[in-house]
Amino acid sequence: MLKIKDLHANVEDKEILKGINLEVKAGEVHAIMGPNGSGKSTLASVIAGNENFEVTKGSIELSGEDLEDVSPEERAHKGVFLSFQYPVEIPGVSVTNFMKTAINESRKAKGLEDMPAKDMLKLIREKSELLEIDRKFLSRSLNEGFSGGEKKRNEIFQMAMLEPKVAILDETDSGLDIDALRIVASGVNKLKSKDNAVILITHYQRLLEYIVPDYVHVLHNGKIVKSGGKELALELEEKGYDWLKQETAV
């Protein structure tokens, strides 16, 4: 479904990604772990099409289609979703209005009519229940004054609404207490299917107890230095990242 080949990316002439290879098939959950500054969030941003990063080499393919020169909004329409580590506050635009706009823009891109208001309300109700989101919450301005947990829950709510093919969750567990983590993880698990894929970007193993990955990759200095099954996450938790650094230095 998602194929990343020898991906190099710069920000302001500094190379952050130095040759990433990754293949994610439908139905799979991949975890990308690694120390701070290893390039995890950059990888997430580059997949979503953030133009602040320049891809200098390599390619990203979604369902066989090269995403080079595809804008962030078009990637979203094709089924890429990024749950942000730091969601942006948009005062004056309610969660509901924002979601309506996002859904209808995506439908427009596919040549479909706007979703009828009744269906939209039904969908919003369904998905907000999935994430135990209060109705009042939906009429608040997007992310404005939200707690860290509310922001992350809202990100997953958006994912539920948009039903992406590939969802990248960037540090979705950071800033969450255990109850919020459980709700968010259970939401993601319910959204998982054989037709979509999830990439979890995380620093800690904690999230992976709730969303169990099929594969774990370790990113270090812009490269995937080790891949394995879910047990690799436990190993990292136990030993930290220092041993990896030594191992790769050798």
Partner 1 sequence: MDLKDKLISSFMAFENNVDVEHPVHDVRMAAIKNFEEKGFPSKKEEAWKYTSLNSIQKIDFSIFPKKENALEYKDVKRYFIHEIDTYKIVFVDGIYSSYLSETTHDGVDICLMSAALTKPMYKPVIDVYFNKVASKDESLTSLNTAFSREGAYIYIPKNKMPKKPIEILHFSTGNEASLLLQPRNLIVVEENAEVQIIERHQSLTSNEVLTNAVTEIFAAKSAIVDFYKIQNDVESASLIDNTYIDQKDKSLVKVHTFSFGGKLTRNNLNFYQNGEYIDSTMKGVTILGEKQHVDHHTLVHHIEPNCESHQDYKGIYGDASTGVFNGKIIVDKIAQKTNAFQQNNNILISDKASINTKPQLEIFADDVKCSHGCTIGQLDEDALFYLQSRGIPQKEARALLMYAFANNVLSSVRIPELKIRINKLIAEKLGVNLGFDL
Q: How far apart are the C-alpha atoms of 181 and 183, rounded to whole Å? A: 5
Q: How far apart are the C-alpha atoms of 63 and 74, rounded to whole Å? A: 14
Does 24 engage in binding with partner 1 (CB under 8 A)?
no
Q: What's the min distance (Å) between Cβ of 241 and partner 1?
A: 27
CB-nearer residue toward partner 1: 75 or 226: 75
CB-nearer residue toward partner 1: 49 or 187: 49
CB-nearer residue toward partner 1: 72 or 149: 72
In this chain, which stretch among 10-18, 24-32, 93-101, 186-194 interacts with partner 1, using CB under 8 A? 93-101
Q: What's the min distance (Å) between Cβ of 81 and partner 1?
A: 8
Helix, strand or coil for residue 235?
Answer: helix
CB-nearer residue toward partner 1: 100 or 226: 100
Report the residue from 31, 76, 201, 218 that binds partner 1 according to the rule CB under 8 A: 76
- State the maximum Cα–Cα separation within the chain, in Å, rounded to a whole number: 61
CB-nearer residue toward partner 1: 98 or 146: 98
In this chain, which stretch among 9-17, 23-31, 77-85, 195-203 interacts with partner 1, using CB under 8 A? 77-85
Does 82 engage in binding with partner 1 (CB under 8 A)?
yes
Does 7 engage in binding with partner 1 (CB under 8 A)?
no
**Which one-letter DSSP state was computed for residue 49?**
T
Residue written as token pair 């909004």: 73
CB-nearer residue toward partner 1: 30 or 100: 100
Q: How far apart are the C-alpha atoms of 87 and 245, rounded to whole Å? A: 31
CB-nearer residue toward partner 1: 21 or 141: 141
User: For the chain, what is the radius of gyration of the CA atoms?
Assistant: 18
Q: What's the min distance (Å) between Cβ of 187 and partner 1?
A: 17
Q: What is the DSSP string of 116-151?
A: PHHHHHHHHHHHHHHTT--HHHHTSEETTT--HHHH
Give the HSE-up count for residue 18: Cα atoms under 13 Å, Cβ half-sphere: 12
Closest CA to 203 of 215, 178, 220, 188: 220
With CB under 8 A as the rule, give the number of residues binding partner 1.
36
The crossing angle, in degrees rounded to 10, of helices 231-239 and 242-249 is 100
Report the residue from 84, 146, 157, 215 that binds partner 1 according to the rule CB under 8 A: 84
List phi, psi (to 5°) of 220.
-150, 125
- The site for partner 1 (CB under 8 A) is made up of 45, 48-52, 71-73, 75-77, 80-82, 84, 87-88, 90-93, 97-98, 100-106, 109, 114, 141, 158, 162
